[in-house]
Structure 1
Amino acid sequence: MSFVRTLFEDIAPEQMGFTYSHEHIVCIPAHWQERSAYDLLLDCPEKSCEDVQDFVNLGGKTIVDATAIDYGRCIEDVAEISRKTGVQIIGTGGFNKGFLWDAQLSPRLRNILGSYETYAEWIEDRSINELADYVIHEVEEGIEDSSYRAGQVKFGTGYNSISPLEEKTIRAVARAHLETKAPIHAHTENGTMALEQIEILRSEGISPEFVSFGHMDRNLDPYYHKQIAMTGAFVSFDGINKIKYGPESARIAEILYLVKEGFEDQILISGDTARRSYYKHYDFGPGLSYIKEKWVPRFIDEAYFAGFDGNALIQKFFVSNPMRCFAFKD
């Protein structure tokens, strides 16, 4: 039987309910902290908790926290928010992307990883299988030094490029998936390199149907998205309301194009709410309530005018598709 792994327990996929498939709840990335980029520091658990509570009050049940170790993961704070609000949280093992790895490690992580100064040094020094063992530990034993187990594994690559260290982490995460059956999430910088990532995964024996590719709406290219979807992978539109990457009309039109082409069962929707200015209770942004409260009704309207059943599609994007995407299965 398949199951979904939350921070506290394994649940049946049917228990997930309405799900945001890619968010960040509390995180303090060392790379941005060193540069005093305060907008990228979600460092107040109380304010993050208020936004999560807004989501729960609207009927939200599950959030996938996509924060990996190299993006300033604060697993104890996130677990406490789960306790306080009752939201089910899926944690993430694995890695983010290369340029963040040059940041200095905090004393806490240096204690976990050893005497290294940066993630890049640590990754360079470890074999692929040693890195895979680390990710397996996060899934089967606990994230960092906690008892909270990861419910997905992640890798990432840069803009229009895959560095040797990034390829190393792709292969490590692939091998961790083969061992644990944990679902895989791929960070794509500005929606690039997904097809190249798929080539590497296939060389490790991975079927793309077990992978979700993030930030697809930062590269609104119908042909490209169709090529990815044709592999069986999940296509994640996780930049809702980020108008700087494109108007909402273009994002919805792209989603409906994939629906028309027959890929409605492979679409995920979320906000990747990783800035203070995106959060309502930090800096008066749209917040975690925005998608369910405002975007969903708009999408239903636009889908209806395009000849689709918007309510049925919303059920797929936020309930049925996450149930399949985030399940551990052979």
Structure 2
Amino acid sequence: MSFVRTFEGDLPPGELGFTYAHEHIVCRPPYWVERGADDLLLDDPEKSLLDVKDFFSLGGNTIVDATAVDYGRDVLAVRDIGRKTGVQIIGTAGFNKSFLWDAKIPEHLKPHIGDFASFYEWIDQTSVHDLANFVIREVEEGLEGTSIRAGQVKFGTGYNRMTPQEEKTMKAVAIAHHETKAPVHSHTEAGTMGLEQAEWLRREGVDLNNWSVGHMDRNPDPFYHIQMARTGAMLSFDGIAKIKYAPESTRINCILNLVDHGFEDQILISGDTARKTYYKHYDYGLGLEYIISKWKTRFTAEATERGYDAEALVYKFFVQNPARCMTFSK
């Protein structure tokens, strides 16, 4: 039986509804805490709740929270936000990119990770087998000792490089995927190393139809996107509203180019809203409401003007594709 796994339990994929495929709701990344980078700390659950409530009030149903253990999750706070707003939350087991591991492990995590000085020391000194077992426990038992189980497994790589420790976590996540059947998600720094990740996953026997790859719009290269889509992966355009990287016209052109080549079933949309200045109720940013209230309208108008069935594409990107992406493999 196919299912997706949310904070409140397993559901049929058809019950996800309108979904953001990559967000962060409450997180205090130790790397950024130690460096005093306040903008990168989503540390007020009440303010996060207001943004999630905006999303729900506009017809949003589900948010995939892509916050891994090394990015400072607050599992109970996020569950509480989901319950108060009615938004379904999907959690994430696994790891992020390696530069974030240069940080002390918070005391509350040590009973679940071990008494290591830093995330880097933990990953460097722990076997692939034991790292995989940690990820498996987070999917099958619960995140950080809770009963809230993860609905996807994650790994990450850096900008135009893949360190030995990142390769190690990728292998651990592949093992966990095979054991749990959880879908796989990956971080790419500025959209790089996606094809190299695909090669690694193939070697580990992962069916790439069970893989979603993040930040494709950070590398707005249509040829590269076609190559990535041909692997079978889901491509996540999760930088919507971040004009500092590219205008929305660039993202929309890349998305519609994929549609032109027959890959509309492999596109995901989200905002990776991970700064106070991106959130409406923290610091007057565009907020979680922006995509559903404004970007969707702009995309629909532009796609319709260019002859596409825009409503059908929106339904694919936000409903059908996330439901298939987040389904546990058989």
Query: TM-score higher than 0.5 here?
Result: yes
Tell me how far apart the structure 2 counterparts of residues 166 and 311 of structure 1 sit (CA, whole Å): 39
Q: Residue 147 of structure 1 corresponds to which residue in structure 2?
A: 147
Q: Residue 14 of structure 1 corresponds to which residue in structure 2?
A: 14
Answer yes or no: is 1:115 the counterpart of 2:144.
no
- Residues 89-100 of structure 1: matches in 2 within 5 Å? 89-100=89-100
Tell me how far apart the structure 1 counterparts of residues 316 and 181 of structure 2 sit (CA, whole Å): 23
- Residues 34-45 of structure 1: matches in 2 within 5 Å? 34-45=34-45
Q: Is the 8 A contact 1:238 1:271 kept in 2?
A: yes
Q: Alignment partner of 2:144: what SS?
A: coil
Q: Alignment partner of 1:245: what SS?
A: coil
- CA shift at 1:125, angstroms? 1.3
Q: Residue 65 of structure 1 corresponds to which residue in structure 2?
A: 65
Q: Alignment partner of 2:244: what SS?
A: helix
Q: Residue 319 of structure 2 corresponds to which residue in structure 1?
A: 319
Q: Residue 328 of structure 1 corresponds to which residue in structure 2?
A: 328
Q: Residue 273 of structure 2 corresponds to which residue in structure 1?
A: 273
What is the number of residues matched between the two proteins? Answer: 330
Tell me how far apart the structure 2 counterparts of residues 72 and 259 of structure 1 sit (CA, whole Å): 36
Tell me how far apart the structure 2 counterparts of residues 53 and 115 of structure 1 sit (CA, whole Å): 38
Tell me how far apart the structure 2 counterparts of residues 92 and 63 of structure 1 sit (CA, whole Å): 11
Q: How far does the alpha carbon of each residue in 1:230-264 deviate from its partner, in whole angstroms, 9 at most, with x for none?
A: 01100000000000110000010100000001000
Q: Residue 185 of structure 2 corresponds to which residue in structure 1?
A: 185
- Give the letter aligned to residue 81 of structure 1: I
Structure 1 runs of 4+ off > 2 angstroms? none
- Give the letter aligned to residue 317 of structure 1: F
Q: Alignment partner of 2:268: what SS?
A: strand
- Give the letter aligned to residue 283 of structure 2: D
- Give the letter aligned to residue 215 of structure 2: H
Q: Residue 74 of structure 1 corresponds to which residue in structure 2?
A: 74
Q: Residue 242 of structure 1 corresponds to which residue in structure 2?
A: 242
Q: Report % sequence identity.
A: 63
Tell me how far apart the structure 2 counterparts of residues 140 and 8 of structure 1 sit (CA, whole Å): 14
Tell me how far apart the structure 2 counterparts of residues 281 and 36 of structure 1 sit (CA, whole Å): 21
Tell me how far apart the structure 2 counterparts of residues 63 and 120 of structure 1 sit (CA, whole Å): 29
Answer yes or no: is 1:219 the counterpart of 2:198.
no
Answer yes or no: is 1:105 the counterpart of 2:105.
yes
- CA shift at 1:111, angstroms? 3.2
TM-score (norm. length: structure 2): 0.99
- CA shift at 1:81, angstroms? 0.4
Q: How far does the alpha carbon of each residue in 1:73-111 deviate from its partner, in whole angstroms, 9 at most, with x for none?
A: 111110110111111000000001100001111111223
Q: Is the 8 A contact 1:110 1:117 kept in 2?
A: no
Tell me how far apart the structure 2 counterparts of residues 265 and 149 of structure 1 sit (CA, whole Å): 27
Q: How far does the alpha carbon of each residue in 1:162-181 deviate from its partner, in whole angstroms, 9 at most, with x for none?
A: 00000000010011000111
Q: Alignment partner of 2:236: what SS?
A: strand
Q: How far does the alpha carbon of each residue in 1:265-322 deviate from its partner, in whole angstroms, 9 at most, with x for none?
A: 0000000000000000000000000000000010001111221011100000000000
- Residues 132-211 of structure 1: matches in 2 within 5 Å? 132-211=132-211
- Give the letter aligned to residue 146 of structure 2: S
Q: Alignment partner of 2:92: what SS?
A: strand
Q: Alignment partner of 2:151: what SS?
A: strand
Q: Alignment partner of 2:73: what SS?
A: coil
Q: Residue 285 of structure 1 corresponds to which residue in structure 2?
A: 285
Q: Alignment partner of 2:25: what SS?
A: coil
Tell me how far apart the structure 2 counterparts of residues 134 and 46 of structure 1 sit (CA, whole Å): 30
TM-score (norm. length: structure 1): 0.99
Q: Residue 264 of structure 2 corresponds to which residue in structure 1?
A: 264
Q: Is the 8 A contact 1:152 1:182 kept in 2?
A: yes
Instruction: Indicate the RMSD between aligned Cα atoms, in angstroms.
Output: 0.6
Q: Residue 24 of structure 1 corresponds to which residue in structure 2?
A: 24
Q: Residue 304 of structure 2 corresponds to which residue in structure 1?
A: 304
Tell me how far apart the structure 1 counterparts of residues 88 and 26 of structure 2 sit (CA, whole Å): 15
More moved, 100-109 vs 14-23: 100-109
Tell me how far apart the structure 2 counterparts of residues 189 and 114 of structure 1 sit (CA, whole Å): 28
Tell me how far apart the structure 1 counterparts of residues 258 and 237 of structure 2 sit (CA, whole Å): 12
Q: Is the 8 A contact 1:98 1:120 kept in 2?
A: yes
Q: Residue 124 of structure 1 corresponds to which residue in structure 2?
A: 124
- Structure 2 unaligned spans of 5+: none
Q: Alignment partner of 1:89: what SS?
A: strand
Q: Is the 8 A contact 1:181 1:328 kept in 2?
A: yes
- CA shift at 1:112, angstroms? 2.4
Tell me how far apart the structure 2 counterparts of residues 225 and 128 of structure 1 sit (CA, whole Å): 31
